[in-house]
Chains A and B, each alone.
Chain A
Amino acid sequence: MIEFRGVTKRFPDGTVAVDNLELQVRDGGITVFVGPSGCGKTTSLRMVNRMIDPSSGTIMVNDTDVMKTDAAQLRRGIGYVIQQAGLFPHRTIVDNVATVPLLLGWSKKRARDRAMELMETVGLTPEMARRYPGQLSGGQQQRVGVARALAADPPVLLMDEPFSAVDPIVRESLQDELLKLQADLGKTILFVTHDIDEAVKLGDRVAVFRVGGRLAQYDEPGVLLARPADDFVDSFVGRDRGYRGLSFRSSEQLPLHELCTVRSGERTERGWSLFLDADGRPLGWHHDRAGGGTADGGDLVPGGSLYDARAGSLRSALDAALSSPSGQGVAVDGDGRAVGAVAADDVLEALAAHRRAEAA
């Protein structure tokens, strides 16, 4: 476990980057430090592996005061993913990944075998092993950075704005893969970002910092969106927080309605019908003004987002309802087959039920 006990960092010019930070990072989860620039989130992270030393206070990693350890030894035991990957340009990918095992004195062969294994884990092909970082895209470099941090299997991983320099689409896939990876590895991850959406998406717990290095709120992301501690957190969490907060509400009790569906060659009724393929997957909406027509798969209106009836949240249910041309959100099972319809009113009713339960 990582624990900050009254940690303050004052730089020689007098700036206080971190002010009396008291915080415990839970084992085996992703804890995100988020805040505007100058809030001390990165300084706090870097004090964990002594890239920066605190002015006062204590940082404990697995019950050891980091200031009482040898800095280089400490760092070899903590994975670190730096902004823009920070790979060694003069070493091949496999040797970049093998860095920490080699520092720990593993044999070259064992370190390389381990590196190849990790490249596969993070989704890099074996033929990339002999290339140099300069030959990879930003997203690929960042994967190498993650593999390098994991190479010696450290229990703790520090990630310092790792995805900030890649484009939004690559960033999203890297985030998804990190979540998948974490589900397998169960590391204790400390993640720094200035992007509240990234924080809410990745964090099991999110610590919001304010300028001057003070902790403003430390909570689960759903709580952060539902009950910001003060105006600063409220404005930092940003617009649509009510809507985004629905992501963290289970849709278990949401009722499913019967869906009017039609397949190719079948007669249609008046109004909207969901057009299905042979396996029961939705292809689009069919609209029949008068009734009694035949569906042929032409003239379909594209459907809205789909709501996964088993794993979805109230947010995805509401979005499915709002984005559907018929006003009925399409609920699907794990295989993508349509199983029913959700209505926006039901989502609001479910939300009200949640709130009644919380108030009671």
Chain B
Amino acid sequence: MGWVSGNLPLIGNLTLQHLYFALPPIVIGLVLAIPIGWLANRTRVGRTITINVAGLLYTIPSLALFVLLPPLLGTRILDPVNVIIALTVYTVALLVRTVADALSAVPQLVVNSATAMGYGPLRRFVAVELPLSVPVVVAGLRVAAVSSISLVTVGAVIGFGGLGQMFTDGFQRGIPAEIVTGIVLVLLLALVVDGLLLLVGRLLTPWDRVGRSAGRPA
């Protein structure tokens, strides 16, 4: 505990930095994944291609992506944008499939009934299909968020900072307390963000907890 109390400002800074790297990709990734997932759902071929490309993107090792992006984007090697873009790519890769699945799980009966009431395609998407896909999308978003928070630590290896820096520094200087503190804080961050997403999901879907579902014979 001695190490922790002596390094509170550092710990605070690294935590904030970690959030700065981890959170924007979750939001940007979600915003990008929704239209891509919608497009993917339009045709069977589109869906197969999109989902396979997304799966492929996710298999690129994160360290490799951090190193590959600067020459591709023309950014400096330690520009935070590199981390944010790399993690956005992973979030999109994870969420595209979720969004496509969530949208295709909206009962066709409900979609047809919205059309028959006089909804145009865009309005129907925003007012009916999107809200109904929230439970599945939030479940996927929780996985993506935790993954993003954990992947930021890899950036520390090439000097990006964040809580991962406590692993590299603690390892190089032989301070186990620093490593353990880093692990505990990453876990805590992941738990808090996961809990918040769960809460937001529940607030958005009061209808999802009322028992039998509509749109099917009761």
Q: Are B132 and A80 in contact (CB under 8 A)?
A: no
Q: Are A84 and B109 in contact (CB under 8 A)?
A: yes
Q: Are A86 and B210 in contact (CB under 8 A)?
A: no
Cα(A90)–Cα(B211), bound, Å: 13
Interface residues of B in 6-21 (CB under 8 A from A): none
Chain B residues within 8 Å of A166, by CB: 217
Q: Are B211 and A134 in contact (CB under 8 A)?
A: yes
Chain B residues within 8 Å of A133, by CB: 207, 214-215
Q: Are A87 and B215 in contact (CB under 8 A)?
A: yes
Is residue B174 contacting chain A, with contact meaning CB distance below 8 A? no
Is residue A82 contacting chain B, with contact meaning CB distance below 8 A? yes
Cα(A85)–Cα(B114), bound, Å: 11
Q: Are B110 and A135 in contact (CB under 8 A)?
A: no
CB B41 to nearest CB in A, in angstroms, measures 19
Tell whether A84 pairs with B217 under 8 Å between CB atoms, given A90-B207, A134-B207. yes
Chain A residues within 8 Å of B114, by CB: 88
Tell whether A89 pairs with B215 under 8 Å between CB atoms, given A84-B109, A134-B210, A135-B210. yes
Q: Are B213 and A89 in contact (CB under 8 A)?
A: yes
Chain A residues within 8 Å of B109, by CB: 82-84, 86
Is residue B128 contacting chain A, with contact meaning CB distance below 8 A? yes
The proximity string for B residues 188-213 relative to A, scoring 1 for CB distances below 8 Å and 0 otherwise, is 00000000000000000111101111
Is residue A91 contacting chain B, with contact meaning CB distance below 8 A? yes
Number of interface residues, chain B, beta carbon within 8 A = 28
Cα(A360)–Cα(B93), bound, Å: 81
Interface residues of B in 87-136 (CB under 8 A from A): 109-110, 112-120, 123, 128, 131-132
Cα(A74)–Cα(B115), bound, Å: 11
Tell whether A86 pairs with B119 under 8 Å between CB atoms, given A51-B112, A80-B113. no
CB A74 to nearest CB in B, in angstroms, measures 8
Q: Are B131 and A86 in contact (CB under 8 A)?
A: no
Chain A residues within 8 Å of B120, by CB: 72
Is residue A273 contacting chain B, with contact meaning CB distance below 8 A? no
Cα(A136)–Cα(B131), bound, Å: 20
Q: Are A85 and B117 in contact (CB under 8 A)?
A: no
Is residue A137 contacting chain B, with contact meaning CB distance below 8 A? yes
Chain B residues within 8 Å of A100, by CB: 117-118
Chain A residues within 8 Å of B112, by CB: 51, 82, 86
* Nearest B-chain residue to A100, judged by Cβ: B117
Tell whether A132 pairs with B214 under 8 Å between CB atoms, given A89-B110, A89-B132, A90-B207. yes
Tell whether A132 pairs with B116 under 8 Å between CB atoms, given A83-B109, A86-B110, A138-B217. no
* Nearest A-chain residue to B108, judged by Cβ: A86
Cα(A99)–Cα(B208), bound, Å: 20
- Contact among B116, B205, B207 for A82, CB-based, below 8 A: B116
The proximity string for A residues 133-152 relative to B, scoring 1 for CB distances below 8 Å and 0 otherwise, is 11111100100000010000
Is residue B1 contacting chain A, with contact meaning CB distance below 8 A? no
Chain B residues within 8 Å of A85, by CB: 113, 214-215
Q: Are A134 and B214 in contact (CB under 8 A)?
A: yes
Chain A residues within 8 Å of B128, by CB: 88, 90
Cα(A165)–Cα(B115), bound, Å: 21
Is residue A76 contacting chain B, with contact meaning CB distance below 8 A? yes
Is residue A73 contacting chain B, with contact meaning CB distance below 8 A? yes
Is residue A49 contacting chain B, with contact meaning CB distance below 8 A? yes
- Contact among A72, A74, A80, A86 for B215, CB-based, below 8 A: A86
The proximity string for A residues 88-105 relative to B, scoring 1 for CB distances below 8 Å and 0 otherwise, is 111100000001100100
Cα(A148)–Cα(B128), bound, Å: 16
Chain A residues within 8 Å of B205, by CB: 90
Q: Are B213 and A165 in contact (CB under 8 A)?
A: no
Cα(A49)–Cα(B119), bound, Å: 13
Chain B residues within 8 Å of A90, by CB: 128, 131-132, 205, 207-208
- Contact among A76, A91, A136, A165 for B118, CB-based, below 8 A: A76
From B131, B132, B207, B208, residue with most partner A Cβ within 10 Å: B207
Chain B residues within 8 Å of A135, by CB: 210-212
Is residue A26 contacting chain B, with contact meaning CB distance below 8 A? no
- Contact among A75, A84, A165 for B117, CB-based, below 8 A: A75
Chain B residues within 8 Å of A84, by CB: 109, 215-217
Tell whether A148 pairs with B207 under 8 Å between CB atoms, given A90-B131, A134-B213. no
CB B17 to nearest CB in A, in angstroms, measures 38
Tell whether A75 pairs with B115 under 8 Å between CB atoms, given A83-B109, A86-B109. yes
Is residue B218 contacting chain A, with contact meaning CB distance below 8 A? yes
CB B132 to nearest CB in A, in angstroms, measures 6
- Contact among B110, B210, B218 for A138, CB-based, below 8 A: B218
Q: List 16 A-B contacts (CB under 8 A).
A: A49-B116, A82-B112, A86-B110, A86-B112, A86-B116, A86-B215, A87-B110, A89-B110, A89-B132, A91-B207, A99-B117, A103-B117, A134-B207, A134-B214, A137-B218, A141-B218
Closest 7 CB pairs of A and B: A133-B214, A86-B113, A76-B118, A138-B218, A75-B118, A165-B217, A89-B214
Q: Interface of A with B (CB < 8 Å)?
A: 49, 51, 72-76, 80, 82-91, 99-100, 103, 131-138, 141, 148, 165-166
